[in-house]
Amino acid sequence: MGIIIPIGVAVFLAFFIANILGYGGGPASIPLMYDQIVTRFGWLDNTEFSQMLALGNSLPGPIATKIAAYVGYDVYGWPGFLAALAGTIIPSAVALIYLLKILRKYKQSPIVKGMSLLVQPVIAIMMLLLTWNMAADAFGSIGYIHSIFIAGLAFLALGKFKIHPAFVIILAFAYGGFIIPLT
C-alpha cells in the first residue's frame, strides 16, 4: 500500500528529484524527468514526451524549465505550473550558491577533478538510453525509413553544416507535416 500524496506535491517532488540528481544541467536532467513524467507517474506517454521535448528545444531558454512549465500546467493547472518550476529552479539555485563556494575552495583537489570527470560517462549513458527510447518510438510511429532519413539529415545539418537546432527541428516538423501524410 503506497503513500498517497497531493498532486501538487507530487509535481514538485518529481521535478525536484530530477533536477537535484541531474548533474550537468538541463540535458542531463531530461532522462531523469522522462523517468518521473513517463515511467513513474504516467503524466505523458513516449510520443507526447518526444513531441514536447522537440517543441521545447525549438524555443529559447533552458529546456528543464520549459518541460517543468508544460508538464506542471498540463497535470495541475497554474498550481502545477508553479510547483514544477519551483521544483526545477530551487535545487539549482541553492546548490549553485553553496557548491560554487566549495568548488572554488577545492578546485585544485584531485578528488574534485576526478568526481567531475567520472560523472560524464554516466550522463552520456543516460542520454543514450533516452535516445534509444525515442528512436524506438519514432520507428514504431513513422517507420524506419522516415526515421533514419530525418536522423541522417539532422546529423548532417547539425554536424557538418552547423545549422541552428531550431531550424533543423522546424524542417523536421515540416517534413512530418507535408511528406509523411503522403506516404
pLDDT in tens, the chain (183 residues): 567 889 999 999 999 999 888 766 777 889 999 999 999 999 999 999 999 998 888 888 888 999 999 999 999 999 999 999 999 999 888 888 998 888 888 888 998 888 878 888 988 998 899 899 889 988 998 899 999 999 999 999 999 999 999 899 899 989 988 888 877
What is the model's pLDDT at position 122? 87
Phi first, then psi: what are they for 2, rounded to 5°? Answer: -85, 165
Quote the CA–CA distance of 107 and 113 in Å, as a whole number.
7
**pTM, entire model:** 0.64
Quote the CA–CA distance of 32 and 64 in Å, as a whole number.
11
C-alpha distance from residue 148 to each of 18, 64, 91, 143, 152 (Å): 30, 27, 38, 9, 6
Q: How many CB atoms lie within 10 A of CB 12?
A: 25
User: Residue 178 has which C-alpha cell?
Assistant: 507535408
What is the model's pLDDT at position 1? 53
